[in-house]
Structure 1
Amino acid sequence: MKIKNIVSLTLICFAIGNLFAQNPWPKTTETAKPWTRWWWMGNAVDEKGLDKQLTTLNKVGFGGVEIVPIYGAKGFENKYINYLSPEWMKMLQFTTSKAKSLNMGVDMAVGTGWPIGGSQVDEQDAATKMIVQTYTISSGEKFSDKIVLKDEKQKNLKTIKLDIVTAYNEKNEAVVLTDKVGSEGFLNWKPGSGKWTIYAVFVGKTLQKVKRAAPGGEGYTLDHFSPDATKDYLRTFDKAFGNSNYGIRSFFNDSYEVYNADWTPDFLSEFKKRRGYDLSPFIKYLVSNEENEIAGRVKSDYRETLSELILNNFTKDFTNWAHSKNSKNTNQAHGSPGNLLDLYAAVDIPESETFGSSIFEIPGLKRDSSDIQKSDMPDFNMLKFASSAANVTGKKLTSNETFTWLTEHFKTSWSQAKPEVEQVFLSGINHVFYHGTTYTPVDVKFPGWLFYASVNFVPENSLWPHLKGLNSYIERTQSVLQSGKSDNELLMYWPIYDQWASPKGKDVTFKVHNVEKWLQPTAMYENLNKLSKMGYSLDMISDKMIGESKSENQKIYSNEGSEYQVLIIPELTYLPESTLKSILDLAQNGASIIFQNKPKDIPGNFEVEKRRTQLKALWNQIQFQNQVGNLKAASFGKGKIVLSSDVAKALEYLKIEREELTDTGLKFVRRKFDGGKYYYIVNHTSKEINQNILLNFIGKQVTLMNPENGDYGLAQTQNNSVRVQLKSGESLIIKNTEDIYTSIPNWYYSEKTDAPIGLNQPWQLSFKEGGPELPKTRALKKLEPWTNFTEDASTQSFSGTGVYTTNLKLKKKSADDYLLKFDKLYESAKVIVNGQDAGIVWSIPFEINVGKYLKKGKNTIQIEVCNLMANRIRYMDQNKIVWRNYNEINFVNIDYKAFDASNWKVQPSGLEGEIQLIPIHFSK
């Protein structure tokens, strides 16, 4: 009996299972924290400086660094260290050991500057291009010219070879003459009749060298299409690293920026092996400006071959090599002449990037047109290529190079960074790298060493004391976004063959800087925007991924990836018959498919009629029936296929639910984990949201979590809705669980506010830290920026921390909480109430709850305000103080012109307007 009671008690305890107190935030990791790209200028690093900077980065909440060696500062040449030399490896070993002691991670670039290359890349392995020369010959004429390369820049190269010689007459009849050309370039051929144009293709070199190279990293850029070149390149790292990875978590490769690389020495044989025919008789259609069907088909095959070569001969080999070192790899695929989805998916951590500044509707958010890139703006759907590849193939992390050229130097506030990184998160990315932080020796004066394209996440930045606010926000958010799996319900096929089939140009590169040419004009892009605004969650999928996917229980999935409800084929012209067969196989096993139109043709120039017939036969297997609303549908095996130009109506027909919360203007991304789902929700609208919002999934317990300060509490729910209060610029995480946890307090909803208390009394303004000198302390009759006091020159040049102090007499403390609300804040503030740290105010809306620190009677309020670096840099340039003195590009402004801040206007600094203390009453 006693044993039975013990068992019963155990069962009772097990039954209530998760009925216990638990902090709902996931356990944080070094990966959840933001990382930063760490520029080693000239590799002029030492142990003292490395120790100091890593410790400093750790204190403000960085989880890791990504080492990228770069050109150096002038005057420090004697401290330069050659890349991968024994001394450099010693510095790397110190870095990883110190980082490990701080629970930080270290990544490093497989090269200096960009794109990858260096002294180990000899002529044979250097980026390669085709060089085309044309000649004419008529019947009866003797060809007196010699078919030899005329490019003076190439003449001294040893690897130049003649690859193709093909002649065409006026009827476009082709004769391949490659074997008719002797070693001296003489052509042993006479045409029987007519006039002929001869196309000669030479294997040449781009001669491009590594951009912004560090000492020891100078040299040619790599031929990414050659497996031998990749192996040769990585062999240098094998020699330097030996059997160790030196503590490197992931080896990093920057975006593909290899210009004019459109060939490789064995391209002809690779083309024939992969496309099924010899390119030589069709070379005219590739290299000339003719725009006809054959040209489009040949170019499609050429572009597909380049894609396969960079995937198989570089990206996969890079991944395998990193694994051989027991490390991961990170790759920025964008810019490549290949299928970005497949390239991103072939690595451990796909990485995208943001470049420039986005437009948000958030009132009060700074966006000065003179301080931003005129042409570049991050594109949300461009970001989704990396996260889509990760989600479809089961990668846990998608990273992003974040904040590149967000604003002009020294003018970026943390409040401007917040919505930009939120857009990155909403795209499905969950592992951000700041761009960036520059190593500075301990004895280098302000502003230290700086890199020309970065937001300055450096200790010398006057905003540094408040960076912990942004970092903590990112850490909490990423701890959620790295949990479980993505929970997107739709797959959108990328019709890349429509891009490849264009008869214009030659190679096609998919860059972040020209999305207006290749991405935004497409039907896929239109669908992505429309469906996202409607509340659907989407990932993109490639032909290769479709072929590797399975269907079961009406879901589509890959081996390790997310599950999806529907595959959408947007409006297109070209679809390979093999892809259509894979799509039908998915439907046969239960998948739901939406076609926006009937595929018109197959891509490529191999067995065109045969493959057209196969495409038609496959399509004819679908027996469509007319439905209401100009929509056709067919049962296909266990699945369904819908044909409709209106994808939204097709989704409605298939009963695929959308998240109606987007009707309010809110944006979201959703994750699923065992026993529940997370919703990360952001208000980028211009209005406050205070209402119940519908969710497609409501668990037994709904917890609201504030990623900015870590607060959490049980939400008010009604049917399938959750009550949400979000001001413009705010974000929230909703955790839905089937388990029930006790000791979680109720979420505090603000029901009403009493009349605000205006802090219009006198203030004292003093200065804590910064330079070039501290302005004098002064008494203020009212709050105003310290830059208003023009009679004191030091206030115009000061960058640092100013402290506003006042006393407040609170007659009674009857409200549930008190909100300290700023009118204008330049740029961020730490609030101290009665000697207690109340927190950092760094983002819109500029306000903070301080009720628990207040008391009845006298209260002392201190507000430590940090301003931008801009005013101090302006002072230095006006006074000809040398601070930018670098090799290579030196230091440029946002328009890539010589930097000069001497004519800048003084940036307002401090507090302006009225600060209000607002009594708040919560719902009970």
Structure 2
Amino acid sequence: MKIQSIFKIGIFCFTFGNLSAQNPWPKITETAKPWTRWWWMGNAVDEKGLDKQLTTLNEAGFGGVEIVPIYGVKGFENQYIKYLSPEWMQMLQFTTNKAKSLNMGVDMAVGTGWPIGGPQVDEEDAATKMIVQTYTISSGEKFSEKIILKDQKQKDLKTIKLDIVTAYNEKNEAVILTDKITNDGFLNWNPDSGKWTIYAVFIGKTLQKVKRAAPGGEGYTLDHFSPNAVKDYLNTFDKAFGNSNYGIRSFFNDSYEVYNADWTPDFKNEFKKRRGYDLSPYIKYLVSNEENEIAGRIKSDYRETLSELILDNFTKDFTHWAHSKNSKNTNQAHGSPGNLLDLYAAVDIPESETFGSSIFDIPGLRRDSADIQKSDIPDFNMLKFASSAANVSGKQLISNETFTWLTEHFKTSWSQAKPEVEQVFLSGINHVFYHGTTYTPADVSFPGWLFYASVNFVPENSLWPHLTGLNSYVARTQSILQSGKSDNELLMYWPIYDQWANPKGKDVTFKVHNVEKWLQPTPMYENLTKLNKMGYSLDMISDKMIGESTSEDQKIQTVKEGSSYQVLIIPELTYLQETTLNNILKLAQNGASVIFQNVPKDIPGNFEVEKRRAKLKSLWAQIPFQIQSENMKIATFGKGKIVLSSDIEKGLEYLKIQREKLTETGLKFVRRQFDGGKYYFIVNHTAKDINQFIPLNYAGKQAVIMNPENGNSGVAETQNNSVRIQLKPGQSLILKNSETVDHSITKWKYIEKADSPISLNKAWQLTFKEGGPELPKSKKIKKLEPWTNFLEDPATQSFSGTGVYTTTLNLKKKNANDYLLKFDKLYESAKVIVNGQEAGIVWSIPFEINIGKYLKKGKNTIQIEVCNLMANRIRYMDQNKIQWRNYHEINFVNIDYKAFDASKWKVQPSGLDGEILLFPLYYSK
């Protein structure tokens, strides 16, 4: 073998293999294909436009759409359709019927814009907040002030109610005065001595309304903590849908972005029922800025109650409602004041989101600082909350709102999208929804209707002809990631009480946009990051999930349909429920292995603190630890083992848990198990070529390499539980490692040698196929250049569309096994046509394609159809003040949420640049 020689040459090609006689790929279902969020602007849809766009989306490789109505376009008001009206339902029925005929699926949001709300949300059901007013009173002093709400914004509301009134003296002794207030606000109480501060808590309203609402969807946002409010809200859909689900696969709820909602009318009673004591004597510690132990305990109980209310009264009820319609539900839990793991697990399809642009080491991957969000970088561990919940609770699909604000408008290439979606896959997610596609009527001209926060997956996008490259890649990859079960071996407990016990602030929301505050500074995060980099695969688990888990055959089984795990890790923490410790010990008793990073210090909350604290200590004392080494204690506990060490890695070594050493190369992976084997999805996001045998914990009896870019496959070379792979930066592969051997699959073709390349540095004919505002003139060029270099033709500066570079190649001999066409610089993607036959689409880094089977000895014609960005045409339109953005509400903003203006943009290079080289390749025998 000549692996090293190829590595030095650096041109080995992953894109080859062969389509086997026995196709190892699962069937590409509509769910495996990417879906897209489909905005209906003003609900101004009609059957002609719906038919056209669904057909176009289907042809581009989409498996489904997610309908989200939003604000409308100016000038089309007479075409608006009121949300959930009979006419709107008719359009929905047409959509689902058409989609079904195309083997596509349809989801829809339970509301317009976000967060959910609308005209059916009356004042009583609207998002609720506590409003606190303080007063002082001394003994012997007449208190004449009325205890009534002073907030002028709330004065006209009919549901305002005084909920709690408590007085505190200088010794912090409390007297509850709620029943001492008359209906007109007078206080019937005088203290016997001292000076007192009165805290009055009113039930108020946030007054927040639906953001980006569609016609017929305007109104207050919902009180997610109230079961009656949720029931009333969903009743509107019951009336519209009747006994039918109108063909909806799943009803969708967007991320929780309800601001200042920290109360609900029945909160006081719910708190007492759930926490075991009355909150009224402690209200001062919740609403004041005191930072002491009792404040932390009260706030922990308050936050836990909010979490349970949104779980029980909204999330679970939403799921039950969707099931009553014979549909599923999809929910974005992030942003809410609740345990994200439990909230994600309570729905059929947990959904996370990416927002902004990630950083990768892939050479040539464009990431212009002027075109990205400055603060938002998608966080890998944040993505894992949704996949962890799904894996632990046995959900097959985990979705993701993908590519939100990936770059500035009109500047996103498909090559930039590939590593971003791969990071989503690596986190365990397997059902992506692009963000997104805007419905445009059939007769609206370029650029059609557009949504302000999206990558434009619309037919008007000049890159659209090559979108099938990205979409087929996603479909093949997801067909694997939706097969079998997740194969993560470790569980990491989320110490949420350490978050909830923080005496600062009041409610705590776990948002995508502030992970640097609540997630990244934690020991759990540090452990997740370190262990993942080392090659361990992890899911997170909550207190509730631990309580629902069992232990059998030395493994932890979360639920019957869920995954099984080898070790439960309790990262460094302060607070642990005594009930959770008891459940952990039960798991160990029955054979589980557990690692504690430290001794739990205390119990959270303010109920029977001493009794529960003693219970925690008593349970811990039952563990018969023996000193193993300086930083490790071990205990045999029943059938299981418990390790106490600040060094989790050492604990895993002691327990003989193997990591995947392939990560030492810089490769990333995610693993799935199926009956008789395992899949590995492996990605090279490094700056270096990988051309070597990589070790695997599971190699099976046969390893098949599968290329998700083109569907090729072949049996890999293996030795000593290692598999030979060749991956350039930006490439990925799937390994199917099986216990059975399929002799019909031929060998994977590894590139062992390459002859000196043939340069296509010659004359080319440049023509233009489609696009606008007008086609540039055809031109003969002596060498490859972007068409934007030809300043003598003004049309080249404004054109967005497809340019075709054509040349001939005289191949004197054709004796290599294959030929690799490699681009130097490509702006942005290309279809390669050799001798009239389509060889494929070049859309991702590295920009190269195998064309050997299309070449012949002698004269060959090579055509390269290049699509560029929309940016130059939009720049032209803004420079010439051509109106194209004319929307109600936010209209259209740039990546910094300022008024969009492309008139001062530089012309984006478009076409081909540098050299194109043709490498003769030779395979291993």
TM over 0.5: same fold?
yes
- Give distance in 1, aligned partners of 2:27 and 2:911: 36
What are the Cα deviations for residues 347-388 of structure 1, in whole angstroms up to 9, with x where unaligned? 000000000000000000000000000000100000000000
What are the Cα deviations for residues 548-606 of structure 1, in whole angstroms up to 9, with x where unaligned? 00000001012210010000000000000000000000000000000000000000000
Please tell me whether the aligned partners of residues 705 and 712 of structure 1 are also in contact (alpha carbons under 8 angstroms). yes
Report the equivalent of 1:22: 22
Q: How many residues align?
A: 905
* Equivalent runs, 1:604-683 vs 2, <5 Å: 604-683=605-684
- Give distance in 1, aligned partners of 2:819 and 2:765: 22
* Equivalent runs, 1:64-143 vs 2, <5 Å: 64-143=64-143
* Equivalent runs, 1:365-404 vs 2, <5 Å: 365-404=365-404
SS in 2 for 1:881: coil
Residue 28 of structure 1, CA deviation: 1.1
Report the equivalent of 1:724: 725
- Give distance in 2, aligned partners of 1:629 and 1:466: 59
Report the equivalent of 1:892: 893
Paired residue type of 2:712? D
Report the equivalent of 2:761: 760
Uncovered stretches (5+) of structure 2, i.e. residues with no partner: 1-19
- Give distance in 2, aligned partners of 1:628 and 1:280: 50
Please tell me whether the aligned partners of residues 549 and 559 of structure 1 are also in contact (alpha carbons under 8 angstroms). no
- Give distance in 2, aligned partners of 1:758 and 1:627: 65
Report the equivalent of 1:209: 209
Report the equivalent of 1:162: 162
- Give distance in 2, aligned partners of 1:53 and 1:755: 47
- Give distance in 2, aligned partners of 1:185 and 1:37: 51
What are the Cα deviations for residues 324-369 of structure 1, in whole angstroms up to 9, with x where unaligned? 0000000000000000000000000000000000000000000000
- Give distance in 2, aligned partners of 1:898 and 1:771: 24
Paired residue type of 1:681? I
- Identity among equivalent positions (%) equals 85
Please tell me whether the aligned partners of residues 437 and 456 of structure 1 are also in contact (alpha carbons under 8 angstroms). yes
Structure 2 residue 862 is the aligned partner of structure 1 residue 879: no
Report the equivalent of 1:362: 362
Paired residue type of 2:44? A
Structure 2 residue 273 is the aligned partner of structure 1 residue 269: no
Residue 629 of structure 1, CA deviation: 4.6
Report the equivalent of 1:15: none
- Give distance in 2, aligned partners of 1:494 and 1:22: 44
Paired residue type of 2:375? S
Residue 414 of structure 1, CA deviation: 0.2
Paired residue type of 1:652? E
Report the equivalent of 2:449: 449
Report the equivalent of 2:14: none
- Give distance in 2, aligned partners of 1:760 and 1:409: 34
Report the equivalent of 1:845: 846
- Give distance in 2, aligned partners of 1:546 and 1:137: 49
- Give distance in 1, aligned partners of 2:877 and 2:362: 34
Report the equivalent of 1:483: 483
* Equivalent runs, 1:375-524 vs 2, <5 Å: 375-524=375-524
- Give distance in 2, aligned partners of 1:519 and 1:677: 31
Structure 2 residue 812 is the aligned partner of structure 1 residue 787: no
Residue 630 of structure 1, CA deviation: 1.7
Paired residue type of 1:222? L
Q: More relative contact order in 1 or in 2 (CA 8 Å, sep 6+)?
A: 2
* Equivalent runs, 1:4-83 vs 2, <5 Å: 21-83=21-83
- Give distance in 2, aligned partners of 1:358 and 1:293: 39
Deviates more, 1:348-357 or 1:626-635: 626-635
Please tell me whether the aligned partners of residues 595 and 641 of structure 1 are also in contact (alpha carbons under 8 angstroms). yes
Paired residue type of 2:920? P
SS in 2 for 1:125: coil
Paired residue type of 1:679? Y
Report the equivalent of 2:912: 911
Please tell me whether the aligned partners of residues 166 and 178 of structure 1 are also in contact (alpha carbons under 8 angstroms). yes
Residue 267 of structure 1, CA deviation: 0.1
Residue 715 of structure 1, CA deviation: 0.1
- Give distance in 1, aligned partners of 2:648 and 2:697: 20
Residue 628 of structure 1, CA deviation: 2.7
SS in 2 for 1:278: coil
Structure 2 residue 575 is the aligned partner of structure 1 residue 574: yes
- Give distance in 2, aligned partners of 1:322 and 1:806: 58
- Give distance in 2, aligned partners of 1:555 and 1:97: 46
- Give distance in 1, aligned partners of 2:739 and 2:636: 35
Paired residue type of 1:445? S
SS in 1 for 2:723: strand
Please tell me whether the aligned partners of residues 573 and 599 of structure 1 are also in contact (alpha carbons under 8 angstroms). yes
What are the Cα deviations for residues 481-539 of structure 1, in whole angstroms up to 9, with x where unaligned? 00000000000000000000000000000000000000000000000000001000000
What are the Cα deviations for residues 237-294 of structure 1, in whole angstroms up to 9, with x where unaligned? 0000000000000000000000000000000000000000000000000000000000
Paired residue type of 1:24? P
SS in 1 for 2:915: coil
Runs of 4+ more than 6 Å apart: none
Report the equivalent of 1:862: 863
Please tell me whether the aligned partners of residues 331 and 351 of structure 1 are also in contact (alpha carbons under 8 angstroms). yes
- Give distance in 2, aligned partners of 1:520 and 1:128: 30
* Equivalent runs, 1:166-245 vs 2, <5 Å: 166-245=166-245
Please tell me whether the aligned partners of residues 21 and 742 of structure 1 are also in contact (alpha carbons under 8 angstroms). no
Paired residue type of 2:644? L
What are the Cα deviations for residues 686-714 of structure 1, in whole angstroms up to 9, with x where unaligned? 00000000000011111000001111000
Report the equivalent of 1:801: 802
SS in 2 for 1:95: helix
Report the equivalent of 1:16: none
- Give distance in 2, aligned partners of 1:325 and 1:470: 34
- Give distance in 1, aligned partners of 2:368 and 2:761: 30
Report the equivalent of 2:596: 595
What are the Cα deviations for residues 866-915 of structure 1, in whole angstroms up to 9, with x where unaligned? 00000000000000000000000000000000000000000000000000
SS in 2 for 1:766: strand
Paired residue type of 2:98? K
Paired residue type of 2:444? V
- Give distance in 2, aligned partners of 1:845 and 1:335: 37
Structure 2 residue 565 is the aligned partner of structure 1 residue 547: no
Please tell me whether the aligned partners of residues 21 and 741 of structure 1 are also in contact (alpha carbons under 8 angstroms). no
Q: Superposition RMSD on alpha carbons, in Å?
A: 0.6
What are the Cα deviations for residues 297-349 of structure 1, in whole angstroms up to 9, with x where unaligned? 00000000000000000000000000000000000000000000000000000
Paired residue type of 1:112? T
Paired residue type of 1:641? I
Residue 21 of structure 1, CA deviation: 4.8
- Give distance in 1, aligned partners of 2:28 and 2:466: 20
* Equivalent runs, 1:699-710 vs 2, <5 Å: 699-710=700-711
Paired residue type of 2:101? S
Residue 742 of structure 1, CA deviation: 2.4
- Give distance in 2, aligned partners of 1:486 and 1:655: 21
Paired residue type of 1:634? A
- Give distance in 2, aligned partners of 1:538 and 1:225: 31
SS in 1 for 2:877: helix
What are the Cα deviations for residues 433-459 of structure 1, in whole angstroms up to 9, with x where unaligned? 000000000111100000000000000
Report the equivalent of 2:15: none
- Give distance in 1, aligned partners of 2:762 and 2:299: 74
Report the equivalent of 1:11: none
SS in 2 for 1:913: strand
Paired residue type of 1:506? K
Report the equivalent of 2:7: none
Structure 2 residue 347 is the aligned partner of structure 1 residue 347: yes
- Give distance in 2, aligned partners of 1:255 and 1:760: 52
